[in-house]
Amino acid sequence: MDSNDAVTGDELTRALDVHSLRILVAIHREGSISAAARALGFTQPTITQHVQRFETRLGTPLVARTARSARLTPAGALLAQHAPRIDASLTAAATELARLLGREAGAVRIAAHPDLMTNVVAPTLGRLIAEMPGLQLTVAEAAADEALDMVRDGRTDIALITTFADHADPATRRTMHGLRSTFLFGEEILAITTSQVDTTNGRIDASELASLPWIFGDGTATSIAAERAARSYAAGDLTVSRTDSALALVAQGIGATFIAERALSGVLAPELRVLGLAPSLRRRTMAVTLREAEDIPAVAAAVRLLALHHPSAVDIEATRGSRRRAAGQRARFSHGLNRRQADLGHLTTSSRHPAVLNVEESSAMPSMKRVVHIGAVAATSAVLLSGCTADAGPSTGGADSGEAIDNITVALPGSLSNLYVGQESGILNFYIASITQEGLVSVDAQGRIQPGLAESWEQPDDVTYVYQLREDAYFQDGSPVTADDVVFSLQQARDETVSPGIAYILAGVKDVQKTGDREVTITLTAPNAAFAATMSTGGGAFITSKAFWEEHDGRVGTPDSLLLGTGPYQVTKFIPDSSVTFERVDSWWGEEPAVESITVEFVPDESTRLLAAQAGDVDVAFNVPLAQSQQWESLDVMSVDYTNDLSYVGLFFNTSLEPFDDPKVREAFAHAVDRDAVVERLLRGHGEAATTIMTPESLGQVYDADAAREKLTQIPQWEFDLDAAKAALADSSHPDGFETEILTPSTGPQLGTAAQALAENLREIGITLKVREVPIEEWLASLDASSSYGVGLMWYFSTLGDPGEISGYLLGAGNPSAYDNPRILELLSQAGSESDPAARIELLLKVETLQAEDVVNVPLWWGQSATAISKDLGIRDQSSFAFISSWPTQIYRTNQ
Amino acid sequence: MTTALASKPQLARQHPLAWMLMTRIVGTLVVLLILSMAVFSFLHLAPGDIVKTLLGNRPASPEAVDAIRERYHLDDPLPAQYLHWLGGVLTGDLGESIRLQTPVAAAVGGRLGLTLSLCGLAFAMALVVAVPLGVRSAVHAGGVVDRLATGFSIVGLSAPTFAVGLVLLYLFSYYLPVFPVFGAGSGGLDTLWHLVLPAITLALGLGAIILKLTRTALIRELASDYVSAARARGIGERRVRRTALRNAAIPIVTGASLVLTFLVGGTVLAETTFALPGLGTLLQDSVLFKDIAVVQALVLLVAIAIAVIALLADVGYLMLDPRVRRKGRTQ
């Protein structure tokens, strides 16, 4: 390279000017210098001279001229590619300057699909003009891909496009590099016909209309519907270019057509039948701008108004009818007929095998992912069946009727103080936040990891995880999910002062970085096999918007700020000690759930909650107390579902305190524990006598239910044997017994009764154990190696379902037992970095064996949670992991 | 200070009411100060650890614990923490709730209305029923109404609040579904509707005490010499009773005002049973959480309420009893 011609980057920057760039763009678009000149309103020689001067300044040819046309050289094309964004930034600067100088002016150019003109563009422009008088407006009609090209070239500011949720549309699937799309609204595609076909709840399978002539063309969505129904263009099909033409043809009895909900308002002839599709087909409308154009006030205002405007929908039988029926169902349940109905319902539930039920459902499921999902569930349901010691089968309810559900009321046994899981992280907080927030990944019924906000991820090495975000993910306010938002949310979750409840989960994260437009890279300090699951809402990933967080100064989850997430429901109101309400949004990337709104009521008094359920005011009740479970089971309107909830209950000893520093004393305690009696009599069979700290469900990745339990019984056990206990005590440093105290949390009365039972047994061997029930806060404070209690009850709800989660806490560094076994610490760290799940479990089993020999923890039981569900509702995929993903999407109305 | 001291007796002589108000306010302020110190230290001594509560039953690194202690100034010496809080209160900032992550004023303000309505409704119900019933019991002592009222007041006094609440719920929300089972409703008349059963629950115990007080006070008055004298002079029985009731009013007012202050404690149980978002549950949860700023604000609020109620009762004496008024003037 000649040193003479070499121009430094700085000089290059000074040589650039926006006018020259605009000329390059015009040449690129028009294909010749003369056409570009015409488009810009200059003469051809002026443009030619300008380009020549520009080329001299930069020292490189930009335009390759031929006889008739002009093409950009690679250098010219590169500049032309950058031009629109530079232009947009300058326009933003100029507009702000104009405002500063008091010369308010602005212009907005919108390109939209012709379908959107009447119902979306026109009404918004009216409001925009009212809000910003003097604004220059340009509107162009353009198809989706053309409109996107116009935005990229800087020929328009806003492109309004429509996409289909599960349809690979080439125009929108193309990488939206440098573009920002804002979700405006979603709507259903409806079938229009005059033919008298049978429908269920006003919905029809599109293939049932396949024999009729279909009317295709612009202004209809018939081609998409045809693709979904696997129907090709048949003889007799027609093609038109306008919505009203298609409707007019159908009104004359000619075939069927498919049109978006909002395009129908006001143009329907009375003889037309408007039917919903089953499964429903949804179209979403979005506004796309250049990222740089966000700062242009007029553009920002236009996008905001577009997002606020929701075109009116037609009154369709599909949703209206089901709503009325749903109300009727409710009314019947609250009156006298209910007992007989409920009995019938019970019969169908118990005679049906869960696997059969799920297969039936899968036939109605459109997406591949969901089908896989359901296959997995059938297996887990079987796992749970065998896991239940009592004869309570998984009562997931009857078959799905496909009806819409207006509202469900969920009754919680206590209030949440704050909705943000980082601030308050009880198990119920996880359940409630999972309604509205999502993680990068989700966890399926078997505890396996599935896509969430990240559609794919890879692990280039042991400590690096690279996540690719979905393109169609939006926050509930319509703004798109960016890599910045994800990085920010995870940074907040790592900060222990902001998120004390979940910071520990991300303690091994070294760095979270944005490495691409839609790419986030997480680096760990050391390999961690359990890390992948922590990016779900069962772990520490509760993705929220950075703008939202900063607007509320980090005080999120309060009654004023609520929560903003990407899930299918948006929080609309939160009153501590009273209720939280959620509304369904149409910005969610998944399929629209049946439930429209959710009210979560906090009912602290258990008798009141039971009474409310009896009166029919409750649809779902979480964590029904086991002592009251029989009363709940006897209700006519509710059924109770017992699911292993990944919780562990066990005794732990503080090995640094007298007399528990003596292994013989601990042994005496271990022999005095009668697990089977506790599970049988105190828990009424709703739990399982535990042989290890890890739960059988946490082995689900490798072993099925029976194999997992068999694995876990290999660990040496201390059998219930009071003579052996006496002998152990006689060998200890306290042969005559002693007196000690144990605390139990008031929120878990079953722990208190279990401790009483243990105290009875201990009395026989001469140890006095005082059981004191205390508020949960006091109990939590006692779970520390520095506390003065030598024996304690551990009650741990795992949300990750990882086999090493609980033992890592109970035996790892800083454990509450002050137990220091270098061999165990080494095994735990090996298990942490072992990537093969089976090998990892073997290592953890060794840990369990070692700790069992030292009697540091005495496992009591693996818990079950009782969830009461209204008999006219069912939950798909009911599993141990069900409530830490978007569980309301799994609720359906049964056809009883 | 010295000028104020010098002017005191004069003020006391000329404006007894203003004097009473002033001494009351100064006295109340001193009580509030001592109370806030006491509550602050007791809460500090109470079992539980706010850092553990925030972290939950999960592994925590010493760094995480230190960072949280640092954020909430838990490592400062106790007096410094107290002065930090006091400084805030004196400048109108009640502080921040650690549990709720909202300003204390907002947390308390959002629930004050409901608790006031509940207490007001319960108090009004108790007065409207208990006073006339007490009068009738006293006038016809030993009659059917008297015996029924006595039985009713024994039940009201001895039945625990939560049990009464549950019985009412069974009767009027389930068997006879007139009232809602739980919640505070959607505001306005709906909230009032939701508050009826909790108010009755509270009013039962309250009314029993007021009934007993009214009956006893009136019986004593009716047995006194001036009543015999009035009757001997042939004054109408209605007028005699009115005079007696007026004389019996002072103990009734004293008793009612004392009972009203007890209501604040009773609301905890009623709010739990009926799932109402009121100050009672807020106080309970905050004490357990050791959320000092909220506890302090509520304790001070209750103390001020008690002081105001006591003051109103005293003003009530002035209005009811001309002798008290005259005494104030001649002193």
Q: Per-residue pLDDT averaged across B5-12, rounded?
A: 60
CA of A416 to nearest chain B CA: how many angstroms apart?
9
User: At residue A338, what is the residue type?
Assistant: N
Per cent of chain A over pLDDT 90 is 27
The stretch A867-892 carries a mean pLDDT of 87
Q: For residue A199, what pLDDT is reported?
A: 75
The answer to whether residue A376 scores a pLDDT higher than 70 is no
The C-alpha of B204 sits at a distance from chain A's nearest C-alpha, in angstroms, of 19
Would you give the DSSP letter of residue A109?
A: E
Share of chain B above pLDDT 70, in %: 94
Rounded Cα distance between A585 and A597, Å, is 9
Quick one: average pLDDT of B289-310?
Answer: 90
Asked if B64 lies within 8 A of A604 by C-beta distance, the reply is no
What tokens does A533 get? Answer: 């699951």
Whether pLDDT at A280 is above 80: no
Q: What is the 3-state secondary structure (H, E, C) of A493-514?
A: HHCCCCCCCCHHHHCCEEEEEE
Question: Model-level pTM?
Answer: 0.76
The residue of chain A nearest to residue B45, with distances taken between CA atoms, is A778
Distance from CA of B67 to the nearest CA of A (A): 6
- For B53, the closest chain A residue by CA position comes to A777
Q: Which two tokens stand for residue A236?
A: 């007799």
- Tokens at B143, concatenated: 């009659």
Q: Is B150 on the interface with A (CB under 8 A)?
A: no
Distance (Å) from the alpha carbon of A395 to chain B's nearest alpha carbon: 26
pLDDT of residue B63: 85
Chain A residues whose CB is inside 8 A of the B174 CB are: 611, 614-615
Tell me whether residues A795 and B57 touch, CB distance under 8 A: yes
Q: Does A614 touch chain B (CB under 8 A)?
A: yes
Q: Residue A810's pLDDT band (boundaries 50, 70, 90)?
A: very high
CB A660 within 8 A of CB A654: yes
- Residue carrying the six token digits 């302090």: B296
Task: Give residues 252 to 281 of B whose Cβ lies within 8 Å of A.
Answer: 271-278, 281
Place of tokens 């141990």: A880
Closest Cα in chain A, distance from residue B12 (Å): 48
Cα-flanking dihedrals φ and ψ of residue A526, to 5°?
-145, 155
In B66-105, the residues whose Cβ lies within 8 Å of chain A are 67-68, 70-71, 99-102
Are B48 and A780 an interchain contact pair (Cβ–Cβ within 8 Å)?
Answer: yes
Contacts of A581 in chain B (CB under 8 A): none
What's the rounded mean pLDDT across residues A217-242?
A: 81
How far apart, in whole angstroms, are the C-alpha atoms of residue A529 and residue A840? Answer: 9
For an interface test with A, which of B58, B176, B273 has the most A Cβ atoms less than 10 Å from its Cβ?
B58
Please indicate if any CB of chain B lies within 8 Å of the CB of A426. yes
Q: Which one of A578, A609, A774 makes the best mutation probe of the B interface by having the most chain B beta carbons within 10 Å? A: A578
Bridge-based pairing state of the strands A256-260 and A179-193: antiparallel
Q: What per-residue confidence (pLDDT) applies to A103? A: 55
Does the distance separating the beta carbons of A560 and B102 come in below 8 Å?
Answer: yes
Chain B nearest C-alpha distance from A175 (Å): 40
Q: What is the pLDDT of residue A208?
A: 81
| Contact partners, residue A777, CB within 8 Å, separation at least 6 | B47, B48, B49, B52, B53, B288, B289, B290
Residues of chain B with Cβ-Cβ distance to A611 below 8 Å are 166, 169-170, 173-174, 181
Q: Which residue has the higher pLDDT, A360 or B175?
A: B175
- The burial class, CB within 10 Å (0-12 / 13-18 / 19+), for B201 is buried
- Each residue of B28-61: pLDDT tens digit? 899 999 999 999 999 988 888 888 888 888 888 8
By the CB < 8 Å criterion, does A417 face chain B? yes
Q: Is the pLDDT of residue A226 over 50?
A: yes
Q: Which residues of B touch A410 (CB under 8 A)?
A: none
* Mean pLDDT for the stretch of residues A206-233: 82
- In this predicted structure, the answer to whether residue B133 has a pLDDT above a threshold of 80 is yes
| Interchain proximity B273–A605, CB inside 8 Å | yes
For the cut 50, the answer to whether the pLDDT of residue B203 exceeds it is yes
Q: Is the pLDDT of residue A264 over 90?
A: no
Q: Which sign does the torsion angle of CA A248, A253, A254, A258 carry?
A: positive
CA distance to partner chain A, nearest, from residue B117 (Å): 16
Range with the lowest mean pLDDT among A357-366, A467-476, B113-122? A357-366
User: A608 and B274: CB-CB below 8 Å?
Assistant: yes
Read off the pLDDT of residues B89-107 as tens digits, 9 standing for 90 and up. Answer: 999 889 889 999 899 999 9
Kindly tell me if the per-residue pLDDT of A324 is higher than 70. no
Burial of B61 (0-12, 13-18, 19+ CB in 10 A): middle
pLDDT value, residue A369: 33
Rounded CA-CA distance B194/B173 in Å is 11
Report the residue of chain A nearest B59, measured CA to CA. A809
Tens digit of each residue's pLDDT (9 = 90 or more) over A601-640: 999 889 999 999 988 899 999 989 888 888 999 998 899 9
Span B288-296, average pLDDT: 91
Residue A685: the pLDDT is: 87
Most confident of A745-749, B35-39, B150-154: B35-39
Q: Give the pLDDT confidence of A58-70 residue by residue, as tens digits.
A: 888 888 887 677 8
The answer to whether residue A659 scores a pLDDT higher than 80 is yes
The pLDDT confidence band at residue A381, using thresholds 50, 70 and 90, is very low
Decide if pLDDT at A261 tops 90: no
pLDDT attached to residue A595:
92
The predicted structure's pLDDT at residue B158: 87
Higher pLDDT, A678 or A178: A678
Mutation to test the B interface, candidates A334, A415, A417, most B Cβ within 10 Å:
A417
Best mutation site among A407, A497, A601 for testing chain B: the one with the most B CBs within 10 Å? Answer: A497
Check CB contact under 8 Å for B169 and A603: no
Nearest chain B Cα to A418, which residue?
A: B100
Point out the least confidently predicted range of A82-91, A429-438, A813-822. Answer: A82-91
Residue A177 has pLDDT above 70, yes or no: no
Say yes or no: B106 contacts chain A, CB-CB below 8 A: yes
Task: Tell me which residues of chain A, numbers 386 to 405, contact chain B at a CB-CB cutoff of 8 Å.
Answer: none
The number of C-beta contacts closer than 8 angstroms across A and B is 164
C-alpha distance from B7 to closest chain A C-alpha (Å): 50
Stretch A728-737: mean pLDDT: 90
**Residue B155 CA, distance from chain mean position:** 22
Please say if the pLDDT value at position A370 is more than 50.
no
Q: With a cut of 90, say whether residue A533 has pLDDT above it.
A: no
Strand ranges for chain B from DSSP E: none
Average pLDDT over residues B237-245: 88
Task: Give the pLDDT of residue A632.
Answer: 92
Contact B293, B97 (CB under 8 A): yes
**Better pLDDT: A489 or A315:** A489
What's the whole-number mean pLDDT along residues A327-339?
32
Q: Which residue of B has its CA nearest to A412?
A: B275
Cβ-Cβ contacts under 8 Å, B66 against chain A: none
Residues 6+ apart with CB under 8 A from A896: A341, A344, A345, A348, A397, A398, A871, A872
Grade residue B311 by pLDDT with cuts at 50, 70 and 90: confident
pLDDT value of residue B9: 64
Interface of A with B in 743-782 (CB under 8 A): 774-778, 780-781
B51 contacts in A (CB within 8 Å)? 500
Query: Closest approach of chain A CAs to the CA of B288, in angstroms?
Result: 6
Q: Which residues of B touch A575 (CB under 8 A)?
A: 110, 184, 277
Does residue A154 carry a pLDDT above 90?
no
Question: What's the whole-number average pLDDT of chain A?
Answer: 81
- Residues of chain A with C-beta less than 8 angstroms from the C-beta of B102: 555, 558-560
Interchain contact, B61 vs A507, CB within 8 Å = yes
How far does chain B reach from its first CA to its final CA, in angstroms? 24
- Mark which residues 274-293 of A lie under 8 Å from B by CB: none
Residues on chain B touching A557 (C-beta within 8 angstroms): 101
- The minimal CB distance from A608 to the residues B58, B111, B273 is found for B273
Shortest distance, CA A563 to any CA of chain B (angstroms):
13
**Cα-based distances in Å from A326 to A868, B65, B81:** 20, 51, 56
